[in-house]
């Protein structure tokens, strides 16, 4: 550590002598910082300053910068600073510091808050437009890739598609069934609890059946898939992009859309309807279990009521939506994955954006479908 | 002038050589699972020297470095860094030692969410209680020393070229004026001109700041131009340590093929040419 540094000022008639002593190192940098400013204030600005350094015992880049700070503070004006007795062993160190750039760091321009907000709003709007265009162009690229795969079935990545189907479909079955089962239970329980007050117990079955088949089944599964598989797609493609694997594919004459994206999206489009079907069945089963144990409705009656309340149309409405939701999730997650830039932070940001945006678009799509089905009387 | 000072320092310290070792590694054994990577490795690094470490790809050089700085546990043996046994040190002692060394990782390992300037300030923020103005000034001084201009200060690491990344990483390694600097392949991935510049930069900084440098490298040019001593690792052992001349004279087959192979021939024929 060495002895603490000091800087004593002796005011003369023609010059000020500052005597530096002790260890001018990083360990004392905090003290030195205050010491320099304080001592410089004592020294009259119009008289030259001599800094005597022969009693310095230790010097590193921090100490050397402190000396240089005195010199630079007196660079302009008449009272210039001069160094005296710098030990030889520190001369090259000081010269190195002395030769660093002189210009003070540029002051950061601070725009007014309002214009800042407006600029952000504008930037956000433009980015939103670009994003929609990116999704549309990905959809186009996918259609082209499907066209190529039909024209030349050899080029289609069957193994890869099966692999992804296993990951996003088969392995997702247990968690999807469990969650939709629980959701079915909860809806039925809430239905019995509230409908009982005005004696409408019997209609709980209608509510569970229609809600699950038309909306809840497909929505829950799509949201789960966006979180489970969409995020994985984004992270995989993003890290491939970071490691230049995507570029490597391109140089070998393989389109990343064909090799990486088409198998993933096809796997999703196949898996999501299957999971929706299983999920809806599990939810109806859960509703039945609650009806039996909590609502006091025997399974036979529950099934009978279901048969009366439901038609194939309700089932179709849910199932028709599933592949489109899969397409939205797939396109969003792949576009976000390919948008990853070099840094780890960007990978995290894109993965978050992928999940948030695909869930948002799934819900928007669901609303559009509701309008459509109402118009065609389904 | 500085060289003379270092020489005289070195001469005066030869008397008590063991006190003068910045790194002392004795019988170090490191392995993963049933594979032994380092088998009874022993060597010293003296104060104020540039020590180069060579070895084939996968021979365990990086494992050695990571073991010394405490990222990989060792199986047996002892290590002393800056006079302290790190395995016996308390958390506080360890932190004090870590403040006195700087590490340049092979890929730079810059924090990708921080700007260049913030990366260099990071160790200062962590270890010292300094006013922001002083940290700004010191970070600018360090970046200037490694040859980066003000225009680069606000860039993000993803915007930097390979050579600039290494320079920023070096500035960060030097942020706290360390006594000892670990460099993991500092010139790999640089073109010969940039690599030569980087070697010269390391040498200049080492001399002005009086650093001890422990460097892993594959670059024969670096070994010849800036290393005072070289250690060679083969089959998990240190097969030779000493000057480049002693490496050239070694009869170990691996050392021979490394230093006297076809790629190296340009170097050991050069003195002969100049004599002729």
pLDDT (tens digit per residue) in A297-311: 999 999 999 999 999
Question: Nearest CA to CA, how far is A252 from chain B (Å)?
Answer: 23
In three-state secondary structure terms, B77 is strand
Q: Which of A98, A126, A153 is the last residue of a domain?
A: A98
A25 contact B CB<8A: yes
Q: Tell me, yes or no, whether A257 and A345 share the same domain.
A: yes
What are the Cα distances from residue B42, in Å, to A18, B64, B77? 50, 11, 9
What are the Cα distances from residue A272, in Å, to A236, A259, A280, A351, B176? 20, 21, 12, 20, 55
- Describe chain A by its helix, strand, coil percentages, rounded to 5: 75, 10, 20
Residue A107 pLDDT greater than 60, yes or no: no
pLDDT at A2: 67
What are the Cα distances from residue A75, in Å, to A48, A82, A91, A132? 10, 10, 20, 57
Q: Which of A69, A98, A127 is the last residue of a domain?
A: A98
Q: Tell me, yes or no, whether A190 and A270 share the same domain.
A: yes
Residue A317 pLDDT greater than 90, yes or no: yes
A33 contact B CB<8A: yes
Confidence at A331, pLDDT banded by 50, 70, 90: very high
A72 contact B CB<8A: no
In three-state secondary structure terms, A187 is helix
A62 contact B CB<8A: yes
Asked if residue A120 is part of any domain, the answer here is no
Asked if residue A107 is part of any domain, the answer here is no
What are the Cα distances from residue A321, in Å, to A35, A222, A223, A276, A369? 73, 10, 13, 10, 7
In three-state secondary structure terms, A359 is helix
Residue of B nearest to A92 (CA): B208
Residue B273 pLDDT greater than 90, yes or no: no
Q: Tell me, yes or no, whether A366 and A302 share the same domain.
A: yes
Residue A10's CATH number: 3.30.750.24
How many A-B residue pairs are in contact by the CB < 8 A criterion? Answer: 75
Asked if residue A93 is part of any domain, the answer here is yes
Q: Tell me, yes or no, whether A186 and A335 share the same domain.
A: yes
Q: A100 to chain B: which residues are within 8 Å by CB?
A: 140-141, 144-145
Q: A344 to chain B: which residues are within 8 Å by CB?
A: 112-113
Which of A96, A97, A346 is the best mutation test for B, with the most CBs of B within 10 A? A96
Q: A33 to chain B: which residues are within 8 Å by CB?
A: 130-131, 133-134
**Which residue, A49, A72, A56, A43, is CA-closest to A6?**
A56
Count of domains observed in chain A: 2
Which of B109, B133, B137, B181 is the best mutation test for A, with the most CBs of A within 10 A? B137
Q: Tell me, yes or no, whether A198 and A278 share the same domain.
A: yes
**Cβ-based burial of A279 (10 A; exposed 0-12, middle 13-18, buried ≥19):** buried
Confidence at B150, pLDDT banded by 50, 70, 90: confident
Residue A236 belongs to what domain range? 141-375
**Which residue, B257, B263, B262, is CA-closest to B56?**
B257
Asked if residue A108 is part of any domain, the answer here is no
CA–CA dist A243, A344 (Å, integer): 12
Q: Tell me, yes or no, whether A280 and A348 share the same domain.
A: yes
**Which residue, A360, A173, A161, A184, is CA-closest to A286?**
A184
In three-state secondary structure terms, B219 is coil
Interface touch B144/A343, C-beta < 8 Å: no
Which residues, in sequence order, are bridge partners of residue A81?
A49
Q: Tell me, yes or no, whether A87 and A146 share the same domain.
A: no
* Sheet containing A16-24: order of strands: A6-11, A16-24, A49-59, A81-84
Confidence at A105, pLDDT banded by 50, 70, 90: low
Q: Tell me, yes or no, whether A87 and A158 share the same domain.
A: no
A92 contact B CB<8A: yes
Give the ipTM. 0.71
Question: Nearest CA to CA, how far is B265 from chain A (Å)?
Answer: 35
Residue A293 pLDDT greater than 80, yes or no: yes
Asked if residue A273 is part of any domain, the answer here is yes
Confidence at B276, pLDDT banded by 50, 70, 90: very low
Asked if residue A261 is part of any domain, the answer here is yes
Option in B112, B149, B174 nearest A344 (CB) = B112
Encode burial over A196-212: b for 16+ CB neighbours within 10 A, e otherwise.
eeeeebeebbbbbbbbb
**Which residue, A328, A319, A334, A320, is CA-closest to A360?**
A328
Mean pLDDT of chain B: 78
**Which residue, B93, B188, B165, B175, is CA-closest to B140?**
B175
Q: Tell me, yes or no, whether A150 and A86 share the same domain.
A: no
pLDDT tens-digit map of B61-89: 888 888 888 888 888 888 888 888 877 77
What are the Cα distances from residue A93, in Å, to A61, A103, B145, B181? 7, 20, 11, 17
Q: B208 to chain A: which residues are within 8 Å by CB?
A: 92-93, 96
Residue of B nearest to A349 (CA): B113
A316 contact B CB<8A: no
**In sequence order, which ranges of A152-216 are alpha helices (DSSP H)?**
158-168, 173-195, 203-211
Which of A59, A101, A244 is the best mutation test for B, with the most CBs of B within 10 A? A101
Comparison of pLDDT for A101 and A66, the residue scoring more? A66
3-state secondary structure labels for all residues of B30-47:
EEECCEEEEEEEEEEEEC
pLDDT at A109: 57
Interface touch A65/B141, C-beta < 8 Å: yes
Option in A65, A103, A343 nearest B158 (CB) = A343
The gap between the terminal CA atoms of chain B, to the nearest Å, is 32
Residue of A nearest to B209 (CA): A93
Residues of B with CB under 8 A from a CB of A: 1-2, 5, 112-113, 128-131, 133-134, 136-138, 140-142, 144-145, 149-150, 153, 156-158, 174, 176-177, 204, 207-209
Residue of B nearest to A101 (CA): B144
Residue B148 pLDDT greater than 60, yes or no: yes
Chain Cα centroid distance, residue B221: 15
Q: A341 to chain B: which residues are within 8 Å by CB?
A: 158
Residue of B nearest to A66 (CA): B134
Comparison of pLDDT for A272 and A89, the residue scoring more? A272
B136 neighbors A55 (Cβ within 8 angstroms): no
Interface touch B208/A62, C-beta < 8 Å: no
Asked if residue A46 is part of any domain, the answer here is yes
* Sheet containing B76-81: order of strands: B35-46, B21-32, B76-81, B84-85
CA–CA dist A191, A292 (Å, integer): 13
A178 contact B CB<8A: no
Interface touch A100/B144, C-beta < 8 Å: yes
Residue B235 pLDDT greater than 90, yes or no: no
Q: A102 to chain B: which residues are within 8 Å by CB?
A: none
Q: Tell me, yes or no, whether A179 and A57 share the same domain.
A: no
pLDDT at A294: 92
Phi, psi of A241 (to 5 degrees): -65, -40
Q: Tell me, yes or no, whether A151 and A85 share the same domain.
A: no
pLDDT at A357: 94
Q: Which of A47, A72, A98 is the last residue of a domain?
A: A98
A91 contact B CB<8A: yes
Task: Please compute the mean of the pLDDT values over residues B232-247 and round it to a whole number.
Answer: 80
Q: Tell me, yes or no, whether A91 and A158 share the same domain.
A: no
pLDDT at B15: 39
pLDDT at B19: 56
Asked if residue A205 is part of any domain, the answer here is yes
- Our separate counts of H helices and E strands in chain B read 12, 10
């Amino acid at each position: 550590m060495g002895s603490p540094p000091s800087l004593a000022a002796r005011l003369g008639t023609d010059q000020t002598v500052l005597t530096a002593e002790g260890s001018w190192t990083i360990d004392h940098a905090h003290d030195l910082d205050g010491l320099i400013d304080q001592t410089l204030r004592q020294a009259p600005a119009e008289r030259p300053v001599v800094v005597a350094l022969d009693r310095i015992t230790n010097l590193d880049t921090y100490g050397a910068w402190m000396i240089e700070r005195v010199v630079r503070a007196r660079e302009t004006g008449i009272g210039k600073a001069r160094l005296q007795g710098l030990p030889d062993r520190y001369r090259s160190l000081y010269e190195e510091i002395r030769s660093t750039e002189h210009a003070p760091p540029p002051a950061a321009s601070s725009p007014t808050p309002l214009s800042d907000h407006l600029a952000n709003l504008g930037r956000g709007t433009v980015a939103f437009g670009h994003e929609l265009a990116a999704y549309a162009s990905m959809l186009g690229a996918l259609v082209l890739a499907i066209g190529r795969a039909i024209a030349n079935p050899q080029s289609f990545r069957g193994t890869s598609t099966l692999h992804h189907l296993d990951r996003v479909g088969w392995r997702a079955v247990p968690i999807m069934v469990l969650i939709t089962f629980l959701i079915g239970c909860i809806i039925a329980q809430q239905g019995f609890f509230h409908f009982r007050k005005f004696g409408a117990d019997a209609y709980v079955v209608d509510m569970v059946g229609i809600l699950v088949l038309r909306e809840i089944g497909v929505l829950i599964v799509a949201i789960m898939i966006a979180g489970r598989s969409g995020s994985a797609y984004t992270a995989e493609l993003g890290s491939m992009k970071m490691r230049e694997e995507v570029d490597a594919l391109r140089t070998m004459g393989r389109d990343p859309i064909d090799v990486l994206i088409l198998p993933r999206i096809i796997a999703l489009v196949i898996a999501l309807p299957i999971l929706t079907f299983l999920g809806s069945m599990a939810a109806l089963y859960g509703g039945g279990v609650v009806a039996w144990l909590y609502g006091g409705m025997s399974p036979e009656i529950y099934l009978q009521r279901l048969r009366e309340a439901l038609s194939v149309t309700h089932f179709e409405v849910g199932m028709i939506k599933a592949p489109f939701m899969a397409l939205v999730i797939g396109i969003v997650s792949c576009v976000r994955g390919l948008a990853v830039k070099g840094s780890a932070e960007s990978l995290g940001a894109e993965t978050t954006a992928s999940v948030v945006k695909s869930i948002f678009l799934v819900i928007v799509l669901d609303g559009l479908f509701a309008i459509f089905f109402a118009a065609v009387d389904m | 002038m500085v060289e003379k000072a270092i020489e005289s320092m070195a001469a005066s310290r030869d008397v008590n050589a063991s006190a003068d070792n910045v790194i002392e590694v004795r019988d170090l054994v490191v392995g993963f699972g049933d594979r032994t990577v380092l088998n009874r490795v022993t060597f010293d690094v003296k104060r104020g020297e540039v020590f180069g470490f060579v070895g084939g790809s996968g021979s365990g050089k990086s494992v050695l470095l990571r073991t010394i700085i405490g990222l990989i546990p060792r199986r047996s043996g002892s290590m002393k860094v800056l006079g302290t046994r790190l395995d016996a040190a308390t958390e506080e002692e360890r932190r004090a030692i870590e403040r006195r060394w700087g590490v340049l990782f092979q890929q730079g390992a810059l924090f990708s969410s921080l700007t260049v300037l913030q990366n260099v300030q990071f160790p200062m923020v962590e270890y010292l209680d300094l006013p922001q103005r002083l940290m700004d000034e010191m970070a600018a001084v360090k970046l200037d020393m490694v040859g980066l201009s003000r225009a680069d200060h606000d860039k993000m690491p993803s915007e930097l070229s390979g050579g600039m990344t290494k320079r920023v990483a070096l500035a960060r390694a030097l942020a706290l004026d360390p006594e000892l600097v670990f460099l993991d392949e500092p010139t790999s991935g640089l073109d010969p001109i940039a690599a030569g510049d980087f070697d010269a930069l390391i040498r200049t900084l080492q001399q002005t700041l009086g650093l001890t440098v422990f460097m892993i490298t594959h670059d024969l040019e670096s070994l010849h131009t800036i290393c005072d001593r070289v250690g060679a690792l083969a089959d998990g052992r240190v097969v030779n340590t000493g000057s480049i001349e002693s490496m050239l004279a070694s009869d170990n087959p691996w050392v021979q093929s490394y230093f006297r192979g076809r790629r190296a021939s340009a170097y050991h024929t050069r003195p002969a040419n100049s004599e002729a």
